[in-house]
Amino acid sequence: MEALQWLRVIQQLPDNERPVLIRKFVEFYLTNPIRHMGCPFLSEGHCGIYEFRTFACRAYGLWSQATGRERTRQSRDGKRNLVIMWQRLGIDLPTEALVDEMDYCDQVGCESDDAASDERLMAVLEEIYRLDNELADLQTKFETEYHSDFSFLVTSLVLNPKKAVLGKMAVIKELSLSGTGQRLEKLLSQIKPDNLNAVD
């Protein structure tokens, strides 16, 4: 549901803004984890989709410190596994490119006395997943074909799935070995106004 909402947000952008945002998503997908651009929806220090931001963004800082630390640990483990995966593909990611996960924030609080509990947050998350059940085929496709990665979805819609995957491999290899971005620029130059319609 969230991904469909973001596609609608992109569709409704003015013609001069849509290609810029799509290019940011494609670059984000192709260069991650070598480069760390931040969320493509971030613009001048502000969330460009604040009203439609993800549950993860909405709940950040509201989880208990124990749950927050556990989620941070899981994210760090995921990054270590990512390094191993790229090594299996013959690419050693430079350690300086791997930004460590920040410690979980302990500065967020609730204005009301009715602070959200981990149980309440999980109940809301489960309700969001139940909404996805109405679109079970799309949900399965998003999870299996696009690995629940919105930047992969956008890149696949613009370039095609095969070119997205092979392009990422080529870009990561070039960035990790030489630090140059010629393949990245070549792929980004293929984003034309007419193939942006795929995102529609």
Contact yes or no for 168/127 (Cβ under 8 A)? no
- Tell whether the model's pLDDT for residue 89 goes beyond 90: no
- Rounded to an integer, the average pLDDT of 166-183 is 92
Please report, rounded to a whole number, the percentage of residues in the chain having pLDDT higher than 70. Answer: 92
When pLDDT is cut at 50, 70 and 90, the band that residue 97 belongs to is: low
Vertex 22: Cα angle to 17 and 27 (nearest 5): 130
pLDDT tier, 200 (very low <50, low <70, confident <90, very high otherwise): low
Of 108-112, 139-143, 144-148, least confident by mean pLDDT is: 108-112
Cα separations in angstroms, 175 against 42, 172, 182: 24, 5, 9
**What is the CB neighbour count within 10 angstroms for residue 117?**
13
Q: What per-residue confidence (pLDDT) applies to 15?
A: 86
User: Which of the given ranges, 17-26, 92-101, 191-200, has the highest pLDDT on average?
Assistant: 17-26
Residue 35: predicted pLDDT: 84
Structural domain of 11: 2-199
- Reported as a single tens digit per residue, the pLDDT across 31-85 is 998 888 889 999 888 999 999 998 888 888 888 889 989 988 998 888 888 888 8
Q: Which residues, including other chains, have CB under 8 Å from residue 116's CB and lie 6 or more apart?
A: 59, 62, 110
Domain count, the chain: 1
DSSP output for the chain: -HHHHHHHHHHTS-TTTHHHHHHHHHHHHHHTTTS----TTEETTEETTGGG--HHHHHTTTS-HHHHHHHHHHHHHHHHHHHHHHHHTT----GGGSPPPPPPP-----SSS-PPPHHHHHHHHHHHHHHHHTTHHHHHHHHHHSTT-HHHHHHHHHH-HHHHHHHHHHHHHHHHHT---HHHHHHHHT--GGGGGGG-
Query: pLDDT for 100-139, tens place per residue?
Result: 677 888 787 777 777 789 999 999 999 988 888 888 888 8
pLDDT of residue 92: 85
Q: How far apart are CA 75 and CA 81, in angstroms?
A: 10
